[in-house]
Amino acid sequence: MSRRPRFAVVGAGIIGAAVARELVLRYPGSRVTLLEKEHSAAAHQTGHNSGVVHAGLYYEPGGLKARLCRRGGALLRKFCRDRGLPFIECGKLVVALDGLEQRRLKHIFDRAVSNGVPGVRMLGPSGIREVEPNAVGVAALHSPATAIVDFSAITEAFVDDLKRLGGSVEFGREVERIDSRSDEPVVHTASGKLIVDRVIVCAGSQSDRLARRSGGSRYPGIVPFFGQYFALEPAYRDILHGLVYPVPDPKYPFLGVHLTRRFDGEMLVGPNAFLSLSREGYRGLGLNVRDLGETLASPEFWRFASRNLPSAAREARTVASKKYFLRAAQEYVPALEGARATRLTRGIRAQAMTADGKLVDEFAIEHRSGVIFVRNAPSPGATSSMAIAEHVVQLLDDTYGSG
């Protein structure tokens, strides 16, 4: 490209905004356009999560998730402190309630050490009480570097940087498909075409649909799961200093109920994980007939469901009963007995699945003639956003050249 390179980024969640910002930093003078169908940034997954910056405890050492999580957390820490945004290192306990969970916890500890998580240590019951006087368990892993932030504010700051450095953002402009048959991809939107040199798609829960409409692979497909959070009443705001998580059970695909302090001081309980009736419905029933019909017609969903009936039954109880939901949290913090909680808007997890119904747990990226599709960016996607942006832009450079 002899002229100024032209880039389009689709999706103004935290990853899309980070990618657009990274492009203008990497290629000064380039034309970078961030396209977003909503009228603000962080309107979907980014703006509906717990705000935890993960330290990298769980991930396979040397894997992409582990590397990008550690790098991304460090970049976010510096960015927030440079911009005066909240970055509160409140720490996290992963608590084992019995001997089996304690053995699983030791495996997590070994991974955390291999991943270079700072300050991580194993604690017994007395050590748990020293860190969190109201928490109980037979053992715990303490991660003092786990932090809480405002991911929506971070995303808006990324967008501000993009505009300050000469890029542009177009809200209310939904991308319908991308034609990449020529050397110059054509981005088709409801309000006209945009011809560019390279496109990076970060479309979250719509990633599979947009990829398929643009000639990409059928899989991974997206199946939405909602996560319900509750805010504890103000009297319980200070019941914990930081976060308390359960030990993941490998039989279940999702983590389970945990306690999370937010950057604004609220104490949350949640989330559960249950099939969502829509990809973007955060209140009420949240039914979208098209979304639900597509899920129920997908073979991968039924293959997944047939293997996870016990998990579905467990999660259904937390959906049906707030009392059961809170009782699950009381196993870790008995002082929550009798606490009242208010239901918050839910989050929706864009869960990518393979054709045989297996969850895609790694970041998934697809190339197609000048277009890069980020097909899956699960947790710790928000934590890793700045590192994912570095990785994707470097991949773009390595694959197509900087021009």
> What is the pTM (predicted TM-score) of this model?
0.95
- Exposed/middle/buried for 2, CB within 10 Å: 0-12, 13-18, 19+? exposed
Nearest C-alpha neighbor of 7 from the set 28, 31, 24, 29 = 31
Q: With bands split at pLDDT 50, 70 and 90, how would you rate the model's confidence at 310? A: confident
Q: List, for residues 92-141, the tens digit of each pLDDT value.
A: 999 999 999 999 999 999 999 999 999 999 999 999 999 999 999 999 99
> Any idea where the domains of the chain sit in the sequence?
6-46+152-220+361-400, 223-357
What is the pLDDT at residue 101? 97
Distances 189 to 28, 37, 177, 370 between C-alpha atoms, Å: 26, 9, 7, 18
What is the pLDDT at residue 284? 82
Backbone angles phi, psi at 72, to 5 degrees: -65, -40
Tell me the CATH architecture of domain 6-46+152-220+361-400.
3-Layer(bba) Sandwich (3.50)
Given a cut of 80, whether residue 312 has pLDDT beyond it is: no
Average pLDDT, the chain: 93
**What is Dmax (Cα atoms) for the chain?**
68
- Residue with more model confidence, 252 or 393: 393
- Strands 198-201 and 6-10, bridge-based pairing: parallel
Given a cut of 70, whether residue 399 has pLDDT beyond it is: yes
Backbone angles phi, psi at 337, to 5 degrees: -55, 130
What is the pLDDT at residue 1? 47
CATH class of 223-357: alpha beta
Q: Which amino acid is at 229?
A: Y
Given a cut of 80, whether residue 197 has pLDDT beyond it is: yes
Identical topology for domains 6-46+152-220+361-400 and 223-357: no
* Exposure string over 115-127, b if 16+ CB within 10 A, otherwise e: bebeebebbeeee
Among 127-136, 249-258, 363-372, 387-396, the range scoring the smallest mean pLDDT is 249-258
Q: Among all chains, which residue has been given the structure tokens 């005066």?
A: 84
* Cβ-contact 267, 232 below 8 angstroms: yes
Describe the crossing of helices 299-307 and 309-320 by its angle, rounded to 10 degrees.
90
